[in-house]
Every structure is written in C-alpha cells, then in structure tokens.
Structure 1
C-alpha cells in the first residue's frame, strides 16, 4: 500500500524539476538585455507579472540614459508589455 504514494511522489518530483530547468539564469538574461540595450548593468532581478516570471535588467546606456529591459524567464524573449 505504501508503493502507490511513493510512486506518486517520485513522479511529482520528476516533473517539477523539468519545469524549472527551462528558466533563464541571471547571466543569460543580462546578456540578452545588453544585446538589446548596450551599457552597464545597474540591477538584475526576477519579478512576477500577470503570472509570468520576468527578469528585469536595469541598464545605464552608453549615452547615459537608463533603461529597464524585461526578459521572459521561460522563453528568453523580450517582453515589451511589462512595466
């Protein structure tokens, strides 16, 4: 009788690990953001907007202007709608 709960727990743990495997690292998000807006990275952190995890990378551009670039942590694409 203990076999079924053990199998269910193992299956749950196996699928949960793969969900996190696709997440972009901080370094990957910074590289993507700097390709969009070259400059010095001031901050980089994750936040959740509308149920999606995004990297917000704040960059001081070569022209001195600041920009916040949002990168989807799952797809690696820039999110132009994030604020």
Structure 2
C-alpha cells in the first residue's frame, strides 16, 4: 500500500520535509534511529506519525541507498 508520507511546504517549518499531516520533520526519525532509539519509541514520542508512514520512509531510504545511481544521488545532495 502506497501512502503519501512526505510533505514539503514552505508554510510548514519553512519547507522542511515533514511526515504528511504532521509537523514532524522526517529527519527526526533518522536522528532517533542513529541514537539507538527504537521505531516503537519514536512512534510513542511522535504519536501523529503512523507506523505505516515511518516504515514507508525507511523503505524509500533503503531504495535510495541500494540504487545503482546512489553515487549520483549522493553527489547531487551533498555537492
């Protein structure tokens, strides 16, 4: 099931990518995971984010990292 998971709107946190229907930046999920905080805890901390949204974001991230075009994607984002 595909769901809309990311909203980028200059009226919401100045255009920071957020979970759709929330004001929670997508980056917050990755920051929590990097600190060893579980997905369950993240969802408890941010109840406006659904498990389906978080899983979809992780799926998207996985596809980007495993893409044969990763080097180009990476260079375009940090370049």
Task: Give the TM-score range, shorter chain.
Answer: under 0.3
TM-score by length of 1: 0.24
Q: Which structure has more strand as a fraction of its residues?
A: 1
The structure that has the greater radius of gyration is: 1
Q: Which structure has more helix as a fraction of its residues?
A: 2
TM-score by length of 2: 0.25
